[in-house]
């Protein structure tokens, strides 16, 4: 099992970095192909190129583990207790608007729980992942074939009278604003994609509420990183842990919190 965990860490990290390089090559162009999918979400050639690269690498490394990716619709009907789930470019809207808050996401789910994950924000130069021992770390760049210096990640002790809240850049609405208004907020931040999970995991924020539609590939890697730093990812409706492998791979509303944040 230790060899498997080490292999997961190595392969996930390597493929995320390779996909990030492909994405940044396309991002640097003056123009790139973008279109709208059947569910009205945007997709670009960067999403598809990163998906092809990651999927090929994962199938070669772990041929016996179910692979579910956002860009391969046929995979969405499959089920297994253990599976790898991928969002090759989370934050496509941020990518198109050239805001930089987009990420590569790869996660291993076992028994409904994201056990390992990598989140790479290539335009921000930030790389987060769970080590083989389950501890989440942020690796300092520049990123090479071998891991560089890694800092263990840990949530901070929150002050419920002065919370730091992080929320979406592209999906804010009145319902979300009303929810945040229930808390005593000292500071708030906006971030795109799965970076919001990582900001709670790193102690840069205390609470991330999501009152909007998400899919499991959007959240699994960030969830793994957050959990490996001591954060909790809970359903908003009943306060129970968010689980994976649900029908359609669709999530309910949820919150990510540092333990000690009193939910309202």
Residues 250 and 181 in one domain: yes
Same domain, residue pair 110 and 185: no
**Do 204 and 88 belong together in one domain?**
no
Distance separating alpha carbons of residues 186 and 188, to the nearest angstrom: 7
- Predicted pLDDT of residue 173: 83
Is residue 157 included in any domain, yes or no?
no
The token pair at 78 is 């499959």
Same domain, 143 and 23: yes
Is residue 235 domain-shared with residue 142, that is, in the same domain? no
Query: 111: Cβ–Cβ under 8 A, 6 or more apart, which residues?
Result: 81, 82
pLDDT at site 157: 97
170 in the same domain as 140: no
Mind spelling out the 3-state secondary structure of the chain?
A: CHHHHHHHHHHHHHHHHHHHHHHHHHHCCCCCCEEECCCCCEEEHHHHHHHHHHHHHHHHHCCCCEEEECCCHHHHHCCCCEEEEEEEEECHHHHHCCCCCCEEEEEEEECCEEEEEEEEECCCCEEEEECCCCCEEEECCCCCCCCCCEEECCCCCCCCCCEEEEEECCCCCHHHHHHHCCCCEEEEEEECCCHHHHHHHCCCCCEEEECCCEEHHHHHHHHHHHHCCCCEEEECCCCCECCCCCHHHEECCEEEECCCCCCC
Report the pLDDT value the prediction gives residue 171, as an integer from 0 to 100: 65
**What confidence score (pLDDT) does residue 170 get?**
65
As a residue count, the chain comes to: 264
Considering the domain architecture, whether residues 40 and 67 belong to the same structural domain is answered as yes
Tell whether 122 and 174 lie within a shared domain. no
- The β-bridge partners of 119 are 105, 128
The verdict on 87 and 130 lying in the same domain is yes
Whether 262 is covered by a domain: the verdict is no
Last residue of a domain, one of 152, 178, 197: 152
Last residue of a domain, one of 131, 152, 173: 152
Residue written as tokens 């540092």?
258
Q: Give the CATH number of the domain where residue 122 resides.
A: 3.30.540.10
Q: Which pLDDT score is estimated for 2?
A: 72
Q: Is 246 a member of any domain?
A: yes
Q: What angle do the packed helices 2-27 and 45-61 form, to 10 degrees?
A: 160
Q: Are residues 142 and 77 in the same domain?
A: yes
Task: Say if 264 falls within a structural domain.
Answer: no
Instruction: Answer yes or no: is 138 within a domain.
Output: yes
How many beta carbons lie within 10 A of that of residue 214, not counting itself? 19
Residue 193 and residue 216 share a domain:
yes
Do 167 and 101 lie in a common domain? no
Count how many domains the chain has: 2
pTM over 0.85: yes
- Indicate whether 93 belongs to any domain: yes
Please calculate the CA angle 209-210-215 and round it to the nearest 5 degrees. Answer: 145
Q: Does residue 41 lie in a domain region? A: yes
Please name which of 224, 228, 227 lies closest in space to residue 216, comparing C-alpha atoms: 224
| One pLDDT digit (tens) per residue for the chain, 264 residues | 679 999 999 999 999 999 999 999 999 998 888 888 877 788 889 999 999 999 999 999 999 999 999 988 888 989 999 999 999 999 998 899 898 999 999 999 999 999 999 999 999 999 999 999 999 999 999 999 999 999 999 999 999 999 999 998 666 788 999 999 999 999 988 888 899 999 999 999 999 999 999 999 999 999 999 999 999 999 999 999 999 999 999 999 999 999 999 999
Decide: 220 and 245 in contact? Cβ < 8 Å.
Answer: no
CATH classification at residue 251: 3.40.190.80
Domain edge (last residue) among 152, 172, 205: 152
Distance from C-alpha of 133 to C-alpha of 262, rounded to nearest angstrom: 29
Find the domain containing 105 and state its range.
2-152
Question: 263 lies in a domain?
Answer: no
């Amino acid at each position: 099992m230790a060899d498997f965990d080490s292999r997961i860490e190595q392969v996930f990290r390597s493929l995320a970095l390779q996909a990030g390089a492909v994405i940044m090559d396309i991002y640097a162009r003056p123009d790139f192909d973008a279109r709208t999918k059947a569910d009205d979400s945007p997709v670009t050639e960067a999403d598809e190129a990163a998906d092809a690269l990651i999927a090929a690498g994962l199938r070669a490394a772990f041929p016996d583990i179910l692979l579910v990716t956002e860009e391969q619709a046929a995979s969405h009907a499959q089920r297994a207790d253990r599976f790898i789930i991928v969002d090759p470019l989370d934050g496509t809207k941020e990518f198109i608007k050239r805001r930089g808050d987009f990420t590569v996401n790869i996660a291993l789910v076992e028994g409904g729980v994201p056990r390992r994950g990598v989140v790479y924000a290539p335009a921000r130069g930030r790389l987060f992942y769970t080590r083989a021992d389950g501890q989440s770390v942020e690796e300092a760049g520049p990123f090479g074939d071998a891991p560089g210096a890694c800092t263990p990640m840990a949530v901070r002790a929150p002050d419920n009278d002065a919370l730091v809240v992080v929320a979406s850049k592209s999906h804010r609405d009145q319902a979300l604003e009303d929810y945040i208004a229930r808390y005593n907020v000292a500071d708030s931040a906006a971030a795109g994609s799965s970076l919001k999970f990582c900001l709670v995991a790193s102690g840069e924020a205390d609470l991330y509420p999501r009152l909007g539609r998400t899919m499991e590939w959007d959240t699994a890697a960030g969830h793994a990183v957050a959990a490996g730093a001591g954060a909790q990812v809970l359903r908003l409706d009943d306060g129970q842990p968010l689980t994976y492998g649900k029908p359609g791979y669709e999530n309910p509303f949820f919150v990510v919190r540092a333990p000690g944040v009193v939910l309202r």
